[in-house]
Amino acid sequence: MCGIVGIYDRGNINAANAAYYSLVAMQHRGQESAGIAINNDGIITCYKDMGFVNEVFDERILGLLKGDMAIGHVRYSTAGASFAANAQPIVVKYKNGNLALSHNGSLINADLLRSQLEDDGMIFSTTTDTEVIAALIARNYKGDIVEAIKNTMEIIKGSYALTILTDNKLIGVRDGYGIRPLVLGKLENGYVLASESCALDTVGAQFIRDVRPGEILVIDETGMKSVDYINNLPKKICLFEHIYFARPDSIIDGISMYKARENAGRILAKEQPAIADTVISVPDSGTPAAIGYANESGIPFSIGLIKNRYVGRTFIQPTQSMRELGVKLKLNPLRDNIKGKRVVMVDDSIVRGTTSKKIVQALRDAGASEVHVRVSSPPVISSCYYGIDTPNIEELIGAKNTIEKVRQYIGADSLGYLSIEGILAAVGSKGEGFCTACLNGEYPI
């Protein structure tokens, strides 16, 4: 779970500003650390730290990051522990100077590759799989950066969307299955690469297209060059991007995240109807599906939970009783719309079931006469090894429990999930094109 960006803006000494705004637009993709590496006349400098983008950077720091090429990163750790050295971009030395790299995804053979490299005398300064990629590219470099990247893609296994900054190039890479998203946009005098199209909107870039699975895109003073290096693998974009992770105003591989979720809600209403007075959402992630559910079922949508936007990652929970209040601090029922009502509560997913249980209880406390939980995705039954922070299988409530057991645990009057066929139909798929490992255990790699 990370967001990456790359900016190439000829003649603009403030590429860092565009990277900054792109990262703010993708803050939802990672809240642990943020960083920007900038190229100023061939010299790469990097600034990164723990915290939100607007905590890590201020005007003074951005003012120091001058240059016309930049890459950036927001991180939510999946591989490698959460501390400052593991923040990205990662900068490594190679024959032409420095090379900076931002990575979204997760390698499944990073430990093996790392120990092989260590046996060869390489010393690592982080515990991330990203440094393994950077080290391999640096090591494989024999005068042609694209060849070095190709050779690296031959050995790394897993999911990766990359933005790479060299002394004179910005490069974007997407793994052969296209598990993680990456889009290309046009600035007046340059290009933007970003995990999500909402970042392009934020910096006023024109969407050009998605980077293709297995593609290496090289941008430099001669323009843009594309190499379709791996083109024999089936596309397997992560379906959880569509279910939960990506912003609703983003478009990935031609699919609007908002439309996909609204469709999911509509199909859910047909698959799992309910008799109720109102449909509410668990904001913000459940809202598009709740609107779809309401429109399809004819049951009026209303706002049932108010989200406090200022509860951040850094909130300190001093005592157990305060911790119990945690959910209420973030989501408080709107009594006017709940009291005495039969409520359909729509959420995008149930992972551990702990949040859902607290919200159902809060709705009952607010006077709901019935709470019918509807989930716009199938049960999460398997862990993700490609970059989504799903917990161990022991913690996945859908892995070992029947739907009736889950219903009892969360305390709902009824519980209904969307089917796999339903979620695939919602994203316009006939069953191909997506990684659904977390929903059915079918791992593409």
Binders in 85-124 for ligand 5GP, by CB under 6 A: none
- Chain-centre distance of CA 409, in angstroms? 28
Nearer to Mg ion, 100 or 371 (CB): 371
CB 181 within 8 A of CB 1: no
Site for Mg ion in 227-286 (CB under 5 A): 285
Q: Which of 349, 383, 429, 436 binds ligand 5GP (CB under 6 A)?
A: 349
Query: Is the sign of the CA dihedral 292, 296, 297, 302 positive or negative?
Result: positive
Number of residues that bind ligand 5GP (CB under 6 A): 14
Q: Choose among Mg ion, ligand 5GP, none what residue 350 binds, the Cβ cut-off being 5 to 8 Å by kind.
A: ligand 5GP
Stretch that binds ligand 5GP, among 92-100, 161-169, 179-187, 351-359 (CB under 6 A): 351-359
Q: Tell me whether residue 119 is annotated as binding.
A: no
Minimum Å gap between C-beta 158 and ligand 5GP is: 18
Shortest reach from residue 112's CB to ligand 5GP, in Å: 26
First-last CA distance in the chain: 18
Shortest Å distance, C-beta 389 to ligand 5GP: 5
Of 127-135, 349-357, 364-372, 427-435, the segment contacting ligand 5GP by CB under 6 A is 349-357
136 belongs to the binding site for ligand 5GP (CB under 6 A): no
Within 10 Å of residue 209's Cβ, how many Cβ atoms? 10
- Residues 115, 124: contact at Cβ < 8 Å? no
Q: Is 46 annotated as a binding residue?
A: no
Q: Within 74-128, where are the H helices? A: 110-119
> Which residues, in sequence order, are CB contacts of 211 under 8 Å at separation 6+?
161, 172, 173, 174, 182, 183, 184, 193, 217
Residue among 2, 299, 345, 375 flagged as catalytic: 2
Q: How far apart are CA 76 and CA 27, in angstroms?
A: 10
Partner whose footprint covers residue 356, from Mg ion, ligand 5GP, none (CB < 5 to 8 Å by kind)? ligand 5GP
* Residue 198 assigned as binding residue: no
353, interface contact from Mg ion, ligand 5GP, none, CB < 5-8 Å by kind: ligand 5GP
* Residue written as token pair 């698959």: 271
What is the residue whose two structure tokens read 């049960």? 379
Amino acid at 1: M
Q: Which is nearer to Mg ion, 96 or 355 (CB)?
A: 355
Asked about 2 being catalytic, the answer comes back as yes
CA distances from 407 to 3, 398, 422 (A): 34, 11, 20
Q: Are 188 and 12 in contact (CB under 8 A)?
A: no
Segment holding 252, helix H or strand E: strand 251-252
Q: Give the residue with the Cβ less far from ligand 5GP, 341 or 357.
A: 357
Binding site for Mg ion (CB under 5 A): 285
Residues assigned a catalytic role: 2
Q: Which residue numbers belong to the known binding site?
A: 238, 285, 347-348, 384, 435, 438
Residues that bind ligand 5GP (CB under 6 A): 244, 282, 285, 347-356, 389
